[in-house]
Amino acid sequence: MTASQDEAALWWATAVSHIEPGSIELRDRPVQELIGTTGLVDVIWLLLRGDLPTPRQSALLEAALVAGVDHGPQAPSIAAARMAATCGVGLNNAVATGVNLLGDSHGGAGQQCVEMLDDIRARHDAGAHWPDAAREVTADWQSRSRYLPGFGHRFHPVDPRRDPLLDLVHEAVADGVVKGEFLQAALAVEELLRLRRAGARPVPMNIDGATAVIYAELGFPAPLARGLFVLSRSVGVLAHAWEETGQGRRNKGPIPRSIMPARLPASEDI
Amino acid sequence: MTASQDEAALWWATAVSHIEPGSIELRDRPVQELIGTTGLVDVIWLLLRGDLPTPRQSALLEAALVAGVDHGPQAPSIAAARMAATCGVGLNNAVATGVNLLGDSHGGAGQQCVEMLDDIRARHDAGAHWPDAAREVTADWQSRSRYLPGFGHRFHPVDPRRDPLLDLVHEAVADGVVKGEFLQAALAVEELLRLRRAGARPVPMNIDGATAVIYAELGFPAPLARGLFVLSRSVGVLAHAWEETGQGRRNKGPIPRSIMPARLPASEDI
Amino acid sequence: MTASQDEAALWWATAVSHIEPGSIELRDRPVQELIGTTGLVDVIWLLLRGDLPTPRQSALLEAALVAGVDHGPQAPSIAAARMAATCGVGLNNAVATGVNLLGDSHGGAGQQCVEMLDDIRARHDAGAHWPDAAREVTADWQSRSRYLPGFGHRFHPVDPRRDPLLDLVHEAVADGVVKGEFLQAALAVEELLRLRRAGARPVPMNIDGATAVIYAELGFPAPLARGLFVLSRSVGVLAHAWEETGQGRRNKGPIPRSIMPARLPASEDI
Amino acid sequence: MTASQDEAALWWATAVSHIEPGSIELRDRPVQELIGTTGLVDVIWLLLRGDLPTPRQSALLEAALVAGVDHGPQAPSIAAARMAATCGVGLNNAVATGVNLLGDSHGGAGQQCVEMLDDIRARHDAGAHWPDAAREVTADWQSRSRYLPGFGHRFHPVDPRRDPLLDLVHEAVADGVVKGEFLQAALAVEELLRLRRAGARPVPMNIDGATAVIYAELGFPAPLARGLFVLSRSVGVLAHAWEETGQGRRNKGPIPRSIMPARLPASEDI
């Protein structure tokens, strides 16, 4: 091999997969040994981390992935993918359109929530009580943004995905599958918000918060909370884009023409 | 509800999910009943089709999804996602970039293969022998393109994913899980190519062909062969994009500058 | 240079631009000679074709590019970009989201229209009268689709962009700037549709048709009719995405929650 | 109109364009009055800002847009678009793929540079001398990042686009077209870097810096420095994607297989 080839090879070096004629290895495991023996969730873990999860770890990850698959066509990711599907592009382009929208405020809250919980956990490790650690860290976040990532939902008074996810984390803690520090941190935030808003509408953990707890407990770094949500939500994006193709619309706009006034008001009128 | 609201509601009508304050139903099932009880592959099936698969159907689908997760950074989808990850965009944008490239010739072969196998199956149903049906239909495809979707691989003499996938289909046929007609159609094409190219490099079924057999046997319409491949390959796209972010490059080009000559030849010289 | 470097260089060979340390050449012209002397439309032509247009050619291209910049937020490309801009992604991601939707049925009609007009022109070259050539070719297109690309508009009885664009083409023909064959072909289709639908709502040329005439008269191949429309519509996509960021919404859905019923009807009810 | 329609209308309110049957107004100007009379660059300004530029303002904006159209296939945006064009997707999808990569570190430096220059200008307004203002603000930026947006280029010792762009700004200042404060701020940074790095490789203004000066002098807010670069670079992205489609490759990877070793090193070996 020449020096040039060496450089080209290093430029694209990867530990994820090795491909040779007749051979495909995923994290050093021949693909034919995975097909039919290893589940999709285990393979997600394998590709991201290089090893396989235990069955209990895998089950916890699977629950989080299942919880986030869809939240209906009011979500901009889903709506955009459905509109794309009517514009004469492939299903892959429609799914990409939806995934592209899972940005800092749409799908990125999980990532921010892991960072926040990690801050709280670190302060607790350094000796602070959970309520104090939660108070300090949330004060810091709230000084920078009016949103506390992972808590509250503009639509659901209580997010129906919170309880079943946290129940699974509690069980996993009880059985020694995970340590439970991120769960403690998240519950401390929830309690803080409850006390602070006594009598007002509660701000319980939402899907981003509950899955952030799981991802963090399982040892995923914060950016992968967003990455894993992308995999999860892709399922719903695909299902909606596919359903839309069966409805026969063409260049579907956001609102039916029949009720969209021809002349929109100027934006200054808002 | 006013007439306008009715129209707006019909415009976004969906059977995939129903969202109300405090309630999320996926295909009429409360999400909290799915979390922790139903696997990710089953939920993929549920969202796309409205019902749940049997365990054997689910296992077959899972094998196909696992088989396609990655094929290394030489695949343009993976390379583009890795480059995106160095440009200061979110992981969601990097994954969307990769998925966007799974077009007619990159990820669309499965869709075309299902269509081709369905043609063969239909001719067999109408009385033709498998070899004749395969000969007629492939002749038709080859008159329009030099590629027969799902067969042959420019890199692998034999695609290592073929055998384990087809073994699972054979078992499923033997146990009455699927009928096996698409398997027969695909094997007829493979045999035809073997006879036609006696002595030359064989053109066995590739990943697109073997997974097309599975998707078709399970009753998925052709476009979902592409859609399901999108979900599968998203796993590898994410893993590679994430690995790349850890390598610290910035605005990574396709070839290291050190071996890319400053002055590229003009394209006419190719 | 090693053989490997030669191969890498050929792999990325291009006649569009040559970059060396301290030097940027676009189609063999130093960029510093273009800046301040050459207009944007001329540079678009230069990069796509390798030479510079005459002032009259440039003016015709510019008119077509100006005509297509925007068609309001009911267009799915614009709506999707506006929604993207509220999801916490960059303006580049929002523009990419809109551009991604300019597919076969949204922005691709111009490309198809050029193909259709080229068929008509070829039949005329082979001796057919314009009305006969138009009748034969449109019959062929209408046997495959209910849409005739470039004619009719679901919203405008007469597209206000048709007349000013065609007036410019007529002038350019009169002055010998372009030959006028594609104009003739398009007018023959329009006349045919007028006669066929006597008394019914007319189906005049729309923006895709009128710009297709211009692009084809200027010698652009059919796929660039889509490509040039992409450049044109990017302007409106950017302006809308930018305006949306100033309105302060977060994760904007297609319809305000206040009038979207919580429970959408199932899609079977459509 | 019902209350629901009012709400739907406000949800999509816009000052950019108004569309009624038979009428298209861009920023309250009938499109037919713009076609053939108003240049593309003026229309870009019009859609983004609501008014038309003077000829001198327009010329300055045009120079900045021309300067950024392309930087060859080593740029990840261009390379990704070229790879996309070989994967069986539309030209619109290929362009979107390239544009999607113009993120914080690829196309976003102009936006950051405007912010930095604005900080310097504000300190100067508050009484600081240019060198002091530049020293304070750059120290602040460099405490957060090793890159100073808009200065230095990893490939060009001197960016050939710097001088012609700054010459135009100097002229515009002399003629009273713009005030020149952002130019002063940028030159102060350049001088600071020159003094600080005496004898070492200079770090002059690059394309992002020189165009940031222009955009800021013309009154565009910082995020539009990125937005305008997106429009500019789209031209090169399209030209490269289109050239690639003529070269006949299929699923083009980043490096030719002939020189990519089958087995890439693991990423840990980097």
Instruction: Give CA–CA dist C151/C160, Å, rounded.
Output: 13
**Identity of the residue numbered C139:** A
Q: Which residue of chain A comes nearest to B30, CA vs CA?
A: A160
What integer pLDDT is reported at residue B199 of this predicted model? Answer: 72
Question: Hey, are the CB atoms on D22 and C158 less than 8 Å from each other?
Answer: yes
Tell whether the model's pLDDT for residue C227 goes beyond 70. yes
Tell whether the model's pLDDT for residue B261 goes beyond 90. no
Name the CATH superfamily, with its identifier, for domain B109-225: Cytochrome P450-Terp, domain 2 (1.10.230.10)
Look up residue C12 and give its two tokens: 């990325």
Instruction: Give CA–CA dist C230/B137, Å, rounded.
Output: 38
Element (H, E) at B30: strand B29-30
C neighbours by CB contacts (3+ pairs under 8 Å): A, B, D
Question: Hey, are the CB atoms on D250 and B105 less than 8 Å from each other?
Answer: yes
Question: Hey, are the CB atoms on D163 and C32 less than 8 Å from each other?
Answer: yes
Among candidate residues D215, D244, D203, the one with its CA nearest the CA of residue D63: D215
Average pLDDT over every residue of B6-11: 84
**Which residues of chain D are within 8 Å of residue C163 when distances are taken between CB atoms?**
32
Give the DSSP letter string of D129-179: -HHHHHHHHHHHHHHH-S--TTB--SS-SS-TTHHHHHHHHHHHHHTTSS-
Among candidate residues D228, A6, D79, the one with its CA nearest the CA of residue C19: D79
Among candidate residues A199, A198, A184, A172, the one with its CA nearest the CA of residue A128: A184
Tell whether the model's pLDDT for residue C269 goes beyond 80. no
What integer pLDDT is reported at residue A199 of this predicted model? Answer: 72
- The interface residues of chain B toward chain C in range 160-199, judged by CB-CB distance below 8 A, are none
pLDDT band at B155 (very low <50, low <70, confident <90, very high): confident
| Mean predicted lDDT score pLDDT of chain C | 93
Q: Which residue of chain A comes nearest to C2, CA vs CA?
A: A4
Question: Hey, are the CB atoms on D9 and A270 less than 8 Å from each other?
Answer: no
- The interface residues of chain A toward chain D in range 17-76, judged by CB-CB distance below 8 A, are 18-21
Domain map of chain A by residue range? 17-52, 109-225
Q: Hey, of A105, A106, A145, which one would you mutate to test binding to chain C, going by the most C CBs within 10 A of its CB?
A: A106
What digits encode the pLDDT tens for the residues A162-178? 999 999 999 999 999 99
A neighbours by CB contacts (3+ pairs under 8 Å): B, C, D
Q: What percent of chain D has pLDDT over 90?
A: 80
Question: Hey, are the CB atoms on C251 and A75 less than 8 Å from each other?
Answer: yes
What digits encode the pLDDT tens for the residues C88-111? 999 999 999 999 999 998 888 899
Provide the shortest C-alpha distance from residue D129 to chain B (in Å): 34
What digits encode the pLDDT tens for the residues B55-97? 999 999 999 999 999 999 999 999 999 999 999 999 999 999 9
Tell whether the model's pLDDT for residue C233 goes beyond 90. yes
**Which residues of chain D are within 8 Å of residue A263 when distances are taken between CB atoms?**
18-20
Q: How many other CB atoms are there within 10 angstroms of residue B202's CB atom? A: 14
What integer pLDDT is reported at residue D146 of this predicted model? Answer: 82
Least confident range of A22-31, B137-146, B215-224, C127-136 = B137-146
Question: Hey, are the CB atoms on D89 and B100 less than 8 Å from each other?
Answer: yes
Q: What percent of chain A has pLDDT over 70?
A: 96
Average pLDDT over every residue of B230-259: 94
D neighbours by CB contacts (3+ pairs under 8 Å): A, B, C
pLDDT band at D166 (very low <50, low <70, confident <90, very high): very high
Between these two residues, D153 and C47, which has the higher pLDDT value? Answer: C47
Tell whether the model's pLDDT for residue C258 goes beyond 90. no
What digits encode the pLDDT tens for the residues A186-208? 999 999 999 987 777 778 899 99
**What distance lies between CA C92 and its chain's CA centroid?**
20
Task: Quote the DSSP letter at residue A267.
Answer: G
What integer pLDDT is reported at residue D1 of this predicted model? Answer: 54
Among candidate residues D61, D101, D103, the one with its CA nearest the CA of residue D83: D101
What digits encode the pLDDT tens for the residues A13-57? 999 999 998 999 999 999 999 999 999 999 999 999 999 999 999
Question: Hey, are the CB atoms on A99 and B92 less than 8 Å from each other?
Answer: yes
pLDDT band at B234 (very low <50, low <70, confident <90, very high): very high
Give the DSSP letter string of A66-129: HHTS---TTSHHHHHHHHHTTTT--HHHHHHHHHHT--TTTT-HHHHHHHHHHHHHHHHHTT--
Among candidate residues D230, D268, D253, the one with its CA nearest the CA of residue D82: D253
Look up residue A259 and give its two tokens: 């009720």
Question: Hey, are the CB atoms on A76 and C86 less than 8 Å from each other?
Answer: yes
pLDDT band at A261 (very low <50, low <70, confident <90, very high): low
C263, C266, C267, C268 alpha-carbon torsion, rounded to 10°: -160
> Could you tell me if the ipTM is greater than 0.85?
yes
What integer pLDDT is reported at residue B19 of this predicted model? Answer: 92
Least confident range of B98-112, D40-54, D198-212 = D198-212
D80, D84, D90, D93 alpha-carbon torsion, rounded to 10°: -40
Chain A contact for D269, CB < 8 A? yes
Q: Are D170 and D211 spatial neighbours (Cβ–Cβ below 8 Å)?
A: no
Between these two residues, D159 and C27, which has the higher pLDDT value? Answer: C27
Please list, in sequence order, all residues whose beta carbon lies within 8 angstroms of the beta carbon of residue B162, skipping any fewer than 6 positions away: B204, B205, B206, B207, B209, B210
- The interface residues of chain A toward chain B in range 101-160, judged by CB-CB distance below 8 A, are 101-104, 107-108, 155-158, 160
Q: Hey, of C100, C105, C263, C268, which one would you mutate to test binding to chain A, going by the most A CBs within 10 A of its CB?
A: C100
Tell whether the model's pLDDT for residue C30 goes beyond 90. yes
What integer pLDDT is reported at residue B27 of this predicted model? Answer: 98
Tell whether the model's pLDDT for residue A101 goes beyond 80. yes
What integer pLDDT is reported at residue C108 of this predicted model? Answer: 84
Average pLDDT over every residue of D182-201: 90
Q: Given the DSSP bridges, would you call strands B23-26 and C17-20 parallel, antiparallel or unpaired?
A: unpaired
Q: What percent of chain C has pLDDT over 70?
A: 97
Tell whether the model's pLDDT for residue C188 goes beyond 80. yes
Question: Hey, are the CB atoms on D18 and A264 less than 8 Å from each other?
Answer: yes
Chain A contact for C259, CB < 8 A? no
Burial state string for D53-84 with b = 16 or more CB within 10 A and e = fewer than 16: beeebbbbbbbbbbbbbbbbbbbbbbbbbbbb
What integer pLDDT is reported at residue D7 of this predicted model? Answer: 82
Question: Hey, are the CB atoms on A8 and D100 less than 8 Å from each other?
Answer: no
What integer pLDDT is reported at residue D9 of this predicted model? Answer: 82
Instruction: Give CA–CA dist B25/B18, Å, rounded.
Output: 5
Among candidate residues B76, A74, A114, C156, the one with its CA nearest the CA of residue D257: B76
Tell whether the model's pLDDT for residue C164 goes beyond 90. yes
Tell whether the model's pLDDT for residue C189 goes beyond 60. yes
Average pLDDT over every residue of B121-137: 97
What integer pLDDT is reported at residue C105 of this predicted model? Answer: 87
Q: What percent of chain C has pLDDT over 90?
A: 80
What digits encode the pLDDT tens for the residues D167-182? 999 999 999 999 999 9
What digits encode the pLDDT tens for the residues D100-142? 999 998 888 899 999 999 999 999 999 999 999 999 999 999 9
Please list, in sequence order, all residues whose beta carbon lies within 8 angstroms of the beta carbon of residue A100, skipping any fewer than 6 positions away: B92, B93, B96, C84, C89, C93, C96, C97, C100, D100
φ, ψ at B174 (rounded to 5°): -60, -35
- The interface residues of chain B toward chain C in range 71-100, judged by CB-CB distance below 8 A, are 89-90, 92-93, 100
Tell whether the model's pLDDT for residue C263 goes beyond 70. no
| Mean predicted lDDT score pLDDT of chain A | 93
Tell me which residue in A74, A243, A250 faces C253 most closely, judged by beta carbons.
Answer: A74
